[in-house]
Amino acid sequence: MRMSSVKKIITIGEILVEIMAKEPGEGFRSPIDLVGPFPSGAPAIFIDQVAKLGQPCGIVSCVGDDDFGAMNTERLRRDGVDIAAIAVEPGAATGSAFVRYRKDGQRDFVFNIKHSACGLIRQTPDADALIDSADHLHVMGSSLFSDDIVTLIRRAIGRIKTKGGTVSFDPNIRKEILGLPGMIEALDHVLGQTDLFLPSGPELFLLTGATDEVPAVREILARGVRAIVLKRGADGATYYEHGAPLHMPAFRVEEVDPTGAGDSFGATFVTCWLRDMAPREALRLATASGARAVRVKGPMEGTSTRAELDAFLANHDSGVPSGRLAPRHGTRGRSRDRTSPP
């Protein structure tokens, strides 16, 4: 049985600032106009969206004792996130990401994540207290970049599952970290403990031996995963459990910035799922959340309240295919994928 709306969702991972080029182009090898900083980080965007929906939630992370860290923590606190387990590390810089869009929609990035305050996320008394208060853990694959974080996430999964809690997992994986020692093993361990799996496109096949969608879905469900939400970008999303699949097309919107759309989608679906909402309605709200997110500049600027989602749905026909809905934030690299879209 799924959990009621009073349960607490937590996540563990990176908090960043994001600084964006104003004009499209190729990389950062000459002076250009920039805009930002914006609050960012895939787990941070996810948990901000959860908070906007009124669900109790928190994040384990680490920021520097600097303006970038203060901006992020204040934003999360204001929106209702429990920030008690965000450590502030004197002498460390808050993580950062510089992004520039190319004319074809792909992006170039310059990151400071692993060697920033993000790389200092580890077990602390405040982290333990937040984990012990939680009923659901959401894991982002982009956060599995250090042994300390992998260890912390493994411990959190064990403690939450032992008391009857649940786990959702978005692979949200960057090709740059797939080759890190122990990465595939860490991803596979998380999948083995997952209740709700939210891959984007080809991530469905990342941890299976299958090359076609239906066999991959069957293999993952056979491992004990309760449900899969396959995010298909502009083609919407498909929900799988033991039964007929349910597909939800995307909404047609004008895309301004796809960053954060997938995290908003995932947070909305997870929250609805934990509230025991019917899959069709959960998909509809999550797809609306992703669509709203792409309409504004900045990774966290498009997170939505339930009232905003209802207003959006009242003014948009459901099931209308979208032109370009967001890729993945957290799939850091020179591809359009950056935060898994709806």
The domain locations on the chain are 10-314
- When pLDDT is averaged across residues 233-250 and rounded to a whole number, the result is 90
Q: Is the pLDDT of residue 110 over 70?
A: yes
What pLDDT, on a 0 to 100 scale, did the predictor assign at position 335? 31
pLDDT > 60? residue 4: no
pLDDT at 312: 95
Question: Is the CB of residue 95 less than 8 Å from the CB of residue 61?
Answer: no
Select from 251, 40, 284, 261 the least CA-distant residue to 170. 261
Both tokens of residue 306?
């339930």
Backbone angles phi, psi at 327, to 5 degrees: -80, -150
Query: Which candidate, 156, 158, 130, 129, places its Cα nearest to that of 143?
Result: 156
At residue 2 the predicted structure's pLDDT band, cuts being 50, 70 and 90, is very low
* % of the chain residues with pLDDT over 70: 89
pLDDT of residue 114: 87
Residue 165, token pair as written in the block: 């809690």
H helices, E strands: number in the chain: 10, 13
Structure-block tokens of residue 331: 């799939």
> Would you state the pLDDT for residue 257?
82
Q: What is the pLDDT of residue 276?
A: 94
pLDDT value at residue 184: 85
Q: What whole-number distance in Å separates Cα of residue 109 and Cα of residue 267?
A: 24
Q: Is the pTM above the cut of 0.85?
A: yes
Query: 223 pLDDT exceeds 50?
Result: yes
pLDDT band at 175 (very low <50, low <70, confident <90, very high): low
Query: Averaged over 218-243, what is the pLDDT?
Result: 93
Q: What confidence score (pLDDT) does residue 279 get? A: 95
CA distance 274 to 255: 29
Determine the topology of domain 10-314 in CATH: UDP-N-acetylmuramoyl-L-alanine:D-glutamate ligase (3.40.1190)
- Considering only residues 315 and 134, tell me which one the structure prediction assigns the higher pLDDT: 134
- Helical spans, DSSP H, in 104-235: 125-133, 147-162, 175-178, 183-192, 213-222
Separation of alpha carbons 74 and 153, rounded Å:
24
Pairing of strands 246-248, 237-240: antiparallel
Q: Tell me which of 181 and 139 has the higher pLDDT.
A: 139
- Inter-residue contact 228 to 217 (CB < 8 Å): yes
pLDDT score for 321: 37
53-62, 86-95, 185-194, 323-332: the lowest-pLDDT one: 323-332
Provide the token pair at 224.
Answer: 């004990």
Length of the chain: 342
Out of 163-177, 206-220, 284-298, pick the least confident.
163-177
Q: Contact 263/13 with Cβ under 8 angstroms?
A: no
Average of per-residue pLDDT across 30-34: 94
* pLDDT score, position 336: 32
pLDDT at 177: 63
Question: Which uninterrupted H or E stretch holds 37?
Answer: strand 34-40
Highest mean pLDDT among 86-90, 99-103, 242-246, 296-300: 86-90
Q: What six digits make up the tokens of 41?
A: 């980080």
Query: For residue 3, is pLDDT > 90?
Result: no
Average pLDDT, the chain: 88
The DSSP element (H or E) to which 138 belongs, if any, is: strand 136-140
- Cα Rg, the chain, nearest whole Å: 18
pLDDT in the model for residue 320: 42
**For position 176, what pLDDT does the model report?**
57
Question: For tokens 């799939």, what's the residue?
Answer: 331
Average pLDDT of span 200-204 = 90
Q: How do residues 264-276 score in pLDDT, each as one tens digit?
A: 999 999 999 999 9
